[in-house]
Structure formats: structure tokens, C-alpha cells
Amino acid sequence: MEIRRVAVIGSGQMGTGMAQVSARAGIDTILVKMTEGPVEAGKQKIAKALQREVEKQRLTQEELDATLGRLTCTNKIHDLAECDLVIESVIEDLDEKRRLFGRLEDVVKESGIFASNTSTLSITALAEATRRPTRVIGLHFFNPAPIMKLVEIVPTLRTDPEVLRAAQDFTAKVKKTGVTIRDFTGFVVNRLLTPYMVDAIRTAQEGLASIAAIDSAMQLGANHPMGPLALADFIGLDIVFHMANNLFDEYHEPRLTPPPLLKRLVLAGWLGRKSGKGFYDYSTTPPTANDFLVASVA
């Protein structure tokens, strides 16, 4: 089947990014806002991002106008009835996602595909909560979606081969590289990346080095574009916390448990870039490391 009409549910950073990618690829796209506030806010955010592309001469004004013309915004689930593909990007909570899929299957046409952008939750657990498990798949985009090239495509044991092919074709159409992965918690990237960040947080907590030193060591010693603590701030410390818990629940490896420092930061609302504070203070330029969070180092 060909995917001609796409809905993205959730108008946060990931949701707007995926909607932008879809609309820019020539696909009619609906962005669904699930929280309070103006429905058109997501479209305005996308317009600003595209305008920056025009200014950098990576996009023409005509292409910008055409992209926005293919994008509509709503807060009504019933507007999704004729969508070929619905991608959810709501809170990383299994019960919330299950409830959403339950609402969708009463609205979206029988041939419609349900996809989750979850980073660690089981696609099977989501699929089996629906009446159409053969039409459920994982499509894990990475942040920021307009820039990052990878999509993890995650079928379950029951995903229809037609659905997998459609997901692979859609991924190629939006100019991403898709890798097909078995449905195990964390998939590939977060199965490897989350323990890395958790170990870095534990290393800082133990006072092995300062926050900036840990990040510089991995940037310069491993040629990473960003250190692990700055990366955790970028992703969101609450999301890292939930990913670590999800991995521990699946694999029961002690090293996957969130360190106390991570838990305290989340409880305090210090979630990284999106809250203005985390391992770094983003009220300064450049951001300043909050070294009082970690044990003293010589």
C-alpha cells in the first residue's frame, strides 16, 4: 500500500519535527495537538524552522509554501479517519499510548497503520492492546527529526509484511535511512546509548571528574560530537530516566538502574535544555556546568 496521508499525534519537538519531514516530502500531513494551547502553534514552529532553511538557501520560498500547504493542524481525533499512517509521539507511558491506540481504532479506517515513535517501550505490548495488531509497527525517529537521518523500523511477530513494506517505503520517501530491528526494549540505539549516559552520570556522581571534563573526554577521546552529560540534557533527563527504568524492567541488569543523581534532578524539575537547567545551566552563553551537583574532584 502507498502512504499518501499521514497524521502525527503530539505537537512537541519530536511531533512537529516528524510532521515537518512528512509534509516536506510531499505527503499530506495532519499534526494533532493533544495538550492545551493554540492548535496552530505547531505549524507556526515548523514555518519558522523552514524559514531558516530559506535564509540559508537550502529551501526555496515556493517549497516552503508548498510544505505548509500540505500541513494541517487539529485537536480532534476524528479528523484522522482517512489517514493511511498515524504516528503517535505522546508521553513515554505504555498505558497512555495504549489508551490512544484504543481511541484511534474506533476512528481510523481499517487499512490504516498505527506506528509508535517510542524509544524504548515494547511495540508488541502496544499492538496487542488493539484489535488490529497486524497493522501496528514502530517508527522511531531521532531528535531533531528534520536533521537526523535514521529511523528504527520495528515490526512485531504479528506485523503484516505489507505493513512493514509500507513503513520501509515511507521511511525512504521522507529521505531517511531505515534499519529494521526486532522488538526488544531499547531497539539498537537506546539499548547501547542509555547505559552509556547512565554510566556517565554515575561517573560524575562518584566524582571521577567534573561534568565538563567527562564530556570533553568523550568528545576528544572518542570523537563524539557531544559529551554524554550534555547529550542527556539535550534528550531530557526525564526521558533518560524513563528509558533506563524501561531497560531495567526488561533486562534486570543492575547497571541500568537510574543513578540517585539522575533521580534527584528529575524530581527537582531540572530536566536539561528544555527546563533551562540540568547538568548545565542554559541561562548563560555558553552553558555553564553545574559542578556543585557532583562529588568534589582534585
**To the nearest whole number, what is the mean pLDDT of the chain?**
95
**What DSSP line would sit under the chain, residue for residue?**
----EEEEE--SHHHHHHHHHHHHTT-EEEEE--SSS-TTHHHHHHHHHHHHHHHTTSS-HHHHHHHHHTEEEES-GGGGTT-SEEEE---S-HHHHHHHHHHHTTTS-TTPEEEE--SSS-HHHHHTTSS-GGGEEEEEE-SSTTT--EEEEEE-TT--HHHHHHHHHHHHHTT-EEEE--S-TTTTHHHHHHHHHHHHHHHHHTTSS-HHHHHHHHHHHH--SS-HHHHHHHH-HHHHHHHHHHHHHHH--GGGSPPHHHHHHHHTT--BTTTTBSSEETTSSS-EE-GGGS----
pLDDT of residue 298: 46
pLDDT of residue 163: 98
11, 22, 116, 119: the catalytic one is 119
pTM for this entry: 0.92
Task: Answer yes or no: are the C-beta atoms of 211 and 204 closer than 8 Å.
Answer: yes
Is position 140 annotated as part of the catalytic site? yes
Is position 223 annotated as part of the catalytic site? no
Tell me which residues of the chain have a pLDDT lower than 70.
296-298
Is position 190 annotated as part of the catalytic site? yes
89, 122, 190, 246: the catalytic one is 190
11, 88, 89, 140: the catalytic one is 140
Is position 152 annotated as part of the catalytic site? yes
pLDDT in tens, 209-260: 999 999 999 999 999 999 999 999 999 999 999 999 999 999 999 999 999 9
**Number of CB atoms found within 10 A of residue 186's CB:** 23
> Given the C-alpha cell 525512504, which residue does it identify?
172
Residues pairing with 28 in the sheet: 5
From its phi and psi, is residue 222 left (phi > 0), alpha (psi between -120 and 50) or beta? alpha
Q: What architecture is the 190-290 domain classified under in CATH? A: Orthogonal Bundle (1.10)
Superfamily of domain 5-180: NAD(P)-binding Rossmann-like Domain (3.40.50.720)
Q: In CATH terms, are 5-180 and 190-290 the same topology?
A: no
pLDDT of residue 37: 80
At residue 201, what are phi and psi to the nearest 5 degrees? -65, -40
Beta-carbon-side half-sphere exposure of residue 222 (alpha carbons within 13 Å): 12
Domain boundary assignment for the chain: 5-180, 190-290
